[in-house]
Amino acid sequence: LTFPLLSVSLLVSFGSSMLYGYNLAVVNSPVVHIKAFYNATWFQRYGHGLAPGPLTLLYSLTVSIFALGGLVGSLLVGMLVERYGRNGTLSRSALLVLMAGGFMGFSRELGSPEMVIIGRSIMGLHSGRVCLGCGAVHGPFLMSQSPTPHSQGAGEDFIFPNLRGFLGLMPSIFICLGVFFAQVLGLPELLGKDRFWPLFLSVVVVPASLQLLLLHCFPESPRYLLIERNDICRATKALRRFLGTHNVQDVIEEMKEEQQSLSSVEMVSVWQLLRDRSVRWQTLSVVVLNAGMQLSGIDAIWFYTNTIFQNAGIPVSQIPYTTVGTGAIEVVAGLVGCFTIEKLGRRPLIITGFCAMGICSAGITVSLLLQTALPWMRYVSVACVAGIIAGFCMGPAGVPFLMIAELFTQSHRPAAYIVGGSLNWLCNFTVGFIFPFLQMSAGAFCYLVFCGICLLVALYVYLVIPETKNKTFMEISRIFA
């Protein structure tokens, strides 16, 4: 990869996937302080505090509203990307981050819990727009689905075929880094104190501001300029800069062929995709993978890590550092998956990941049930949480979205991304909202729900989904048939 191309790839991931990961974990550390703020504000307004049930409900809404904003953002992103391109969409989304940071940063000064909830929903709107949308602009350029003469009739080829898996999992690495940074900043020595939690929530304005400034140093996506805007001159200049060579005519010709093929291809709607019997198993696979990815329990781990460790009997003073340790394991596991996917393939990573998550979820249940009799079982709980995170980051974190691009042709791919993205956000909201109540009602047995889901998804992948590494769509379609 040339330096400009790698730089813009890192910039997009920095301002989208990393912020998404940060906002997944940022509500974990200050849970006690935010609940105390909600309770004190309620007392000032109405003369009495909140009961435990309503307080849990209000905080669960604060956590999960992020996913509802993401759902709305993901549904709007196609229109925004088509109209403004990658850079334009990123710039407008960065402005949303500045707005959200303002709401959350000044919420305590103005005595308004509503501002925290609104800020979280705006951050979700940003994540829905850039995580799915900018990958839809810049990802296809890096893994450019372009008809070429040597594609043997498949209608698919890639500028960087040997990096397809690596580039597909790059966003998951930045999600892991975002989670890790949130855990580090949440330490008591940094922003983990009561007086700093508004700053902790609003620190997202820093990377958003940097992205807003640096975007002007890079040209627009060549694919967007040529295919959407038919601006061959600017597309040629952008390609020369990104690829580091003056001779880009072959790539231009490939993009022109793609432009012609797209103009003759009728894009199917979501309803048409769901009714199309020829891709029935591919569509079902998208549903199973994306729903299972969020219902695996990983969101409960990210949103409520400190609470889980507290229930496991870890001393309160050690919980922040234990959480940071699991975050470090998460980053390492993500890197392992990123650098081994092209050697091992998609199926081994995703089956192993879901199996590990299922076994570790059962392990948490066993350790919680035995911790009274065996105090050392608390460390088994920590190991199981680390195992869930590592298993997720090695495969299930990024492979489902990568496989959408490999399971469908261009005509079906946008609708498949909408189905997968919508399920991701809906299941994210569901887990974030109901987990505290599930934990209160089922106790240690709540993790068995996640165990069952993980093992069923792994079984489905083993029985139904073929290996897609180095295969064209036609080859994959024949295997499904």
| Over residues 123-152, mean pLDDT | 52
- Note whether 62 and 117 are within 8 A (CB): yes
Residue 333 has pLDDT above 90, yes or no: no
Helical residues (DSSP H) of 265-297, grouped into ranges: 270-275, 280-295
What confidence score (pLDDT) does residue 253 get? 82
Instruction: Report d(CA 57, CA 50) in Å as an integer.
Output: 10
Instruction: Report d(CA 39, CA 154) in Å as an integer.
Output: 60
Question: 128-142, 192-206, 371-385: which range is least confident on average?
Answer: 128-142
With 0-12 CB in 10 A as exposed, 13-18 as middle and 19+ as buried, what is 399?
Answer: buried
Phi, psi (degrees; rounded to nearest 5) at 48: -150, 155
> To the nearest 5 percent, what fractions of the chain are helix, strand and coil?
80, 0, 20
Instruction: Report d(CA 470, CA 481) in Å as an integer.
Output: 18
Radius of gyration, alpha carbons of the chain:
23
| Over residues 344-372, mean pLDDT | 89
Distances (CA, A) of 284 to 15, 278, 412, 461: 31, 12, 14, 11
Contacts of 355 (CB under 8 A, 6+ apart): 391, 454, 455, 458
What confidence score (pLDDT) does residue 39 get? 93
Closest CA to 218 of 242, 198, 194, 199: 242
pLDDT tens digits, one per residue of 387-411? 998 888 887 887 787 777 778 877 7
What confidence score (pLDDT) does residue 459 get? 96
Around Cβ 170, how many Cβ atoms within 10 Å?
Answer: 22
pLDDT tens digits, one per residue of 275-312? 988 888 989 999 999 999 889 988 888 888 888 888 87
What confidence score (pLDDT) does residue 6 get? 65
Q: Catalogue all structural domains in the chain, each as residue range(s) with its CATH number.
A: 1-147+159-218 (1.20.1250.20), 268-480 (1.20.1250.20)
Contacts of 352 (CB under 8 A, 6+ apart): 391, 394, 395
- Note whether 288 and 457 are within 8 A (CB): yes
What confidence score (pLDDT) does residue 289 get? 92
What confidence score (pLDDT) does residue 227 get? 75
Question: 26-40, 136-150, 354-368: which range is least confident on average?
Answer: 136-150
What confidence score (pLDDT) does residue 66 get? 92
DSSP per position, 327-366: HHHHHHHHHHHHHHHHHH-HHHHHHHHHHHHHHHHHHHHH
Instruction: Report d(CA 237, CA 480) in Å as an integer.
Output: 41
| Over residues 338-342, mean pLDDT | 74
pLDDT tens digits, one per residue of 2-61? 666 666 666 666 667 788 889 988 988 899 999 999 999 999 998 888 888 899 999 999
Per-residue tokens: 156: 């698919």
What confidence score (pLDDT) does residue 221 get? 76
Instruction: Report d(CA 105, CA 203) in Å as an integer.
Output: 8
| Mean pLDDT computed over every residue of the chain | 81
Residue 167 has pLDDT above 70, yes or no: no
Instruction: Report d(CA 396, CA 381) in Å as an integer.
Output: 21
